[in-house]
Structure formats: C-alpha cells, structure tokens
Copies of this chain bind each other. A is one copy, B any other.
C-alpha cells in the first residue's frame, strides 16, 4: 500500500486520521513551513477552528505523523529481524524491510525525515530517541556479524549510518512509475547491504542436484 494521494472524504475515517492525512498531503505539497493550519483544514474539508478541537497546532500534526512513522519503522524492523538467524540473514531481512518501506511510503518518509527540525524541542527529543532505537537495531546486527566473523567491517558506526542512509534516501528519489517495485528494490538493497558489510557469501541451500 502506497501513501494516499488525497484525503478520503468518507465519514468512516475518524476525524483525527482525516486531519493527519490532510496534514501529510499539505506538508508534501508545500513543506511544513509553507503550510498553514487553514490549508490543512481545507484539505480535510473542515474549518480551521475544527482543527484546533483535535490538534493544538500544525506542529502537533507533524509530531503525530513523525511519531507514528518512526514507531511503524521500528515495528517493521522487529517483525523482519530474527535474532536466532545468522547475521547475514538478519541484515538482508532488515534492509529489505527498511528499503521496501521507504519506497512504499515515500511521501510520508520524506516528511518524517526532512521536516525533523521543524519539531518543537521536546518533540524533537522524543523523535530523536526513536531514531536512536532504529540505529541501535541496525548496529546490533552489524556488531553481531563482526562478532561471528561473518562481516568485515572497519567502522561499525559509519557502516550502520550508511546502511540506514541508503534506505532513507530512497524516499527522496523513488517514483511509483520507476522500473523497480518496492519489493524488487528491497531485494536489491538487501543484497547490496551484504556487500557493504563485506559479508562472506552464505552457502547455497543444500539441495540435491540431478547428478547426486
């Protein structure tokens, strides 16, 4: 499922969600700083006064979007990662999920990653904590691979940052009309991540060949 391109007008969508979706569309079109509460209200088909019933400010909406986006990323990483697997399998799975997410949700990912500095200081602190959690998840896999000798990494933190950076930047350039689907791109990035860490090629699965 990709980002919604416009705001569903149906009454089935709760008002808070409609406002979030309207904020996402408005921030994507005009940037956070170029968006007014009136723009968001108008995109949601509401009056500016009605917005304030649900959110104190457009910054509050940015924080909700950012918080939700980062929490979803952490959940997707945790769902993809199985610490019982060898580090190369873990890295490929997490990189695949992270990259696929940034391709599928490129609009919201762009806002979440590029409008960070428009957050209020306390909100920025909270989101930075979630970002450190994401970095920590990736770093743990890089460290595990160094520990087992499966990865050849000279600078674990810069390598971790680079792997996340590769995934994040997908949101900047990815187009729904491009040659690769999010899943195909995720596969490509998973393989590339193994190269980046100098992973020993995993042995092919042990299957009988016609000869034996």
Determine if A155 and B33 form an interchain contact, defined as CB atoms under 8 angstroms apart: no
What B residues does A196 contact at CB under 8 A? Answer: 192, 195-196
Chain B residue at minimum C-beta to C-beta distance from A189: B162
CA distance in complex: A211, B178 (Å): 56
What B residues does A189 contact at CB under 8 A? Answer: 162
Main secondary structure of the interface of A (DSSP, over half): helix
Q: Does A165 contact B (CB under 8 A)?
A: yes
Show the binding face of A for B, using Cβ within 8 Å. 30-34, 113-114, 155, 157-159, 161-162, 165-166, 168-170, 172-173, 179-180, 185, 188-189, 192, 195-196, 198
Q: 25 A–B contact pairs at CB < 8 A? A: A31-B31, A31-B32, A33-B34, A34-B34, A113-B172, A114-B172, A155-B188, A157-B179, A158-B179, A158-B188, A159-B192, A161-B173, A162-B166, A162-B188, A162-B189, A162-B192, A165-B166, A165-B169, A165-B170, A165-B173, A168-B169, A192-B196, A195-B195, A195-B196, A196-B196
Q: A165-B170, A168-B172 are in contact. List 14 more A-B contacts (CB 8 A).
A: A31-B33, A31-B34, A33-B33, A33-B34, A113-B172, A161-B173, A162-B189, A165-B166, A165-B169, A165-B173, A169-B169, A169-B172, A192-B196, A195-B198
Nearest 6 interchain pairs by C-beta:
A33-B34, A169-B169, A31-B33, A165-B169, A31-B31, A195-B195
